[in-house]
A and B are shown apart, each in its own frame.
Chain A
Amino acid sequence: VILKTYLKERSPEPFSIGRHTVALIPGDGIGPELLNHVRELFRFSCVPVDFEVVHVNSSSTSEGDINNAIMAIRRNGVALKGNIETNHTMPPNHKSRNNLLRTSLDLYANVMHCQSLPGVQTRHKNIDIIIIRENTEGEYSSLEHESVSGVVESLKIITRNNSLRIADYAFRLAREKGRRRVTAVHKANIMKLGDGLFLQCCKEVASGYPDIEFDSMIVDNTTMQLVSKPQQFDVMLMPNLYGNVVSNVCAGLVGGPGLVPGANYGRDYAVFETATRNTGKSIANRNIANPTAMLLASCLMLDHLKIHDYANMIRGAILTTMNETRLHTADIGGQGTTSEVVQSIMRIIQSGGPLTTEI
């Protein structure tokens, strides 16, 4: 205790032994309120995590805010964020802040695990798909120009390095999680060079993992298969834009944007958020948003920080509320409010042991 106090007086930044500091970017729409719930829950459960809050103003044209956020993430290594809105009325050189964050920190892998939850009514059952999406290049390179008036060219960049990197990540993850098959999604019959290169890289990496089956599917057929027989997919690997489409389709299949957490991993940094990255402007500040996705994202973050006990405790409480208590928010057909769901989770955590503070 003496050492702790001594060190606290010496250094200006928040410093605690055994505690982690994580950057928190509230974003817009439902981001701030959901992240407040996360902090409330962490405080209640005595999770050893402190947050360094960085606000990003989506209507400002300067890149000062987003650069501060990037610096904070570099400092802390890990972040939890809400979605930052991209204002259409801004000129085209005003890039998406979320995209800037991902490319500056080289968060090359976006991972989303879609699982059917027994407590949620959906048309399809038994879905268990891991989607791995290349997160930095492809169609999201933000390289556009108007060569002649009325003619705009947008460049989609595919590189061998990034394709090999994401394919390697996918196979390693598949092996780690004991998955049997990786499916690459592409449109190489039309984009022969671009997606052709991506597919070739996937095949090369696949040859180094003979224990894992590898196949490929064209993106339009993939979406058709997903809405008729999603159970056939195991791990899916794809470039940026198709990743956007497929992850949203899968999120819709398991119950909607309020349920699935997402993670963006780079070599040195990791940022956690909801999988479908919605701002949710129309439901902001009405206490009706589903906190599940953001709370599960915070559990993924705790797992990343290797504080598994807390992660499992919170995750268990969330799933119990979802599947047993069946306290649902409006987006999945229930009538609960956001705060009611969070309270229920806290009650379950409290009944699980003496670790908590007062509600």
Chain B
Amino acid sequence: MILRIIKILKVLGIGYRIFCYLTHTFLSIQTVTLIPGDGIGPEISTAVMKIFEAAKAPIQWEERNVTAIKGPGGRWMIPPEAKESMNKNKIGLKGPLKTPIAAGHPSMNLLLRKTFDLYANVRPCVSIEGYKTPYTDVDLVTIRENTEGEYSGIEHLIVDGVVQSIKLITEEASRRIAEYAFEYARNNQRTSVTAVHKANIMRMSDGLFLRKCREVAENYKDVKFTEMYLDTVCLNMVQDPSHFDVLVMPNLYGDILSDLCAGLIGGLGVTPSGNIGANGVAIFESVHGTAPDIAGKDLANPTALLLSAVMMLRHMGLHGYAKKIETACFDTIRDEKVLTKDLGGNAKCSEFTADICRRVQDMD
């Protein structure tokens, strides 16, 4: 009797899988790994899923957890289910992850980066109409090399009181990031790529980075290539950010500049971000913190995660849905009627989400 039930269930199971396969092939629904994260992560992920459903986007979510576990050999790693899911789906959306201070394991973001070789961090910064900052005409993209440079983590105590930190620049990584930058510029109709460096001081390391950028630029004559010192970029950025288009740079400068640009448009709460890895893996994420003080209270602002999801749609070629959702989001913010607290209003996260859903549905 029990055996019969198991047999029926097995057939149903196989049937379900065949159904999924057929749906995927014919309705081209793509599966995306969703990592809700900690703190406000789950609620903003839910908000994004609701909006995508309202837009009828052909995305199926596969939720996974990435709390670090100790693998064989004592090395910290992400759970195998998460890894498998990412490798299968190739595309991921991630909420904020907390890094406990004395957990003994490295930051989760670092672990993800190493596991999937996420070499490029891309942050498009566009001024949001309706969210006023002193800078109104920002439209640039920062592309940051994310694996080496100053963040190689190699430090030594030479003698008592003297510390040496090593900044590593390799030909391979520099070439790879430069190529990605030019490809991005070409695919997204951007006119110029600027390499940011300090080769006047760090002659060999930034010199190598610059040389590789110049070499790659030769193959992309349709995109204009310029080079600028880091300090000049900072100086000009705060005076007139409209001069900049795509910026490519090593790790540390990228960290500083991408946060500077996020500050220009309103902060990390409204800035999208994507990490591109080798083997076609791409993880899009919100870069703000977990905000534990407002977690679970329906007060969070899902804009950053939503815009990252829009970036993800564009990456997947679903430009129509991307445009629809992005326009709905910007319209809601511009209207200024239903805004979360950090944007200057007093609406709840669910109300903000509902407003965007309504706009998306009205667009059809």
B interface, size bucket: 35 or more
Which residue, of A88, A94, A248, A253, has the highest number of chain B Cβ atoms within 10 A?
A248
Give 9 closest A-B pairs by Cβ, nearest first. Answer: A160-B161, A224-B263, A252-B238, A150-B171, A220-B259, A123-B134, A92-B203, A86-B200, A193-B155
A11 interface residue (CB < 8 Å to B): no
Please give the distance in Å from B344's CB to the nearest CB on chain A. 14
- Report the nearest A residue to B202, measured CB to CB: A154
Whether B239 contacts A223 by the Cβ 8 Å rule is no
Whether B165 contacts A194 by the Cβ 8 Å rule is yes
- Interfacial residues, chain B to chain A (CB-CB below 8 A): 133-135, 150-151, 153, 155-157, 160-172, 198-205, 207-208, 230-232, 234-239, 252, 255-260, 262-264, 267-268
Please give the distance in Å from A311's CB to the nearest CB on chain B. 27
Assuming the contacts A156-B167, A159-B162, asked whether A248 and B235 have C-beta atoms less than 8 A apart, the reply is yes
Q: Please, how many angstroms separate the alpha-carbon atoms of A150 and B166 in the complex?
A: 16
Whether B239 contacts A95 by the Cβ 8 Å rule is no
Assuming the contacts A144-B205, A223-B259, asked whether A256 and B239 have C-beta atoms less than 8 A apart, the reply is yes
Assuming the contacts A92-B207, A152-B169, asked whether A252 and B150 have C-beta atoms less than 8 A apart, the reply is no
Q: What mask results when residues 222 to 246 of chain A are scored 1 for a CB within 8 Å of chain B, else 0?
A: 0111111000000000000110110
Assuming the contacts A88-B199, A124-B134, A228-B267, asked whether A154 and B234 have C-beta atoms less than 8 A apart, the reply is no
- Chain A neighbourhood of B204, CB < 8 A: 92, 144-146, 152, 154
- Report the nearest B residue to A123, measured CB to CB: B134
Q: Please, how many angstroms separate the alpha-carbon atoms of A190 and B262 in the complex?
A: 20
- Chain B neighbourhood of A160, CB < 8 A: 160-162
Of the residues A150, A153, A154, A219, contact of B256 by C-beta under 8 Å: A219
Assuming the contacts A95-B203, A224-B267, A252-B235, asked whether A194 and B163 have C-beta atoms less than 8 A apart, the reply is yes
Q: Please, how many angstroms separate the alpha-carbon atoms of A197 and B158 in the complex?
A: 13
- Chain B neighbourhood of A1, CB < 8 A: none
Interface pairs (14), CB distance under 8 Å: A95-B203, A150-B208, A152-B205, A154-B167, A154-B169, A155-B165, A156-B166, A160-B160, A194-B155, A220-B256, A223-B259, A228-B133, A228-B263, A248-B232
A136-175 residues at the B interface, CB under 8 angstroms: 139-140, 142, 144-146, 150-161
A27 interface residue (CB < 8 Å to B): no
Q: Please, how many angstroms separate the alpha-carbon atoms of A152 and B206 in the complex?
A: 9
Q: What mask results when residues 24 to 61 of chain A are scored 1 for a CB within 8 Å of chain B, else 0?
A: 00000000000000000000000000000000000000
- Chain B neighbourhood of A248, CB < 8 A: 231-232, 234-235
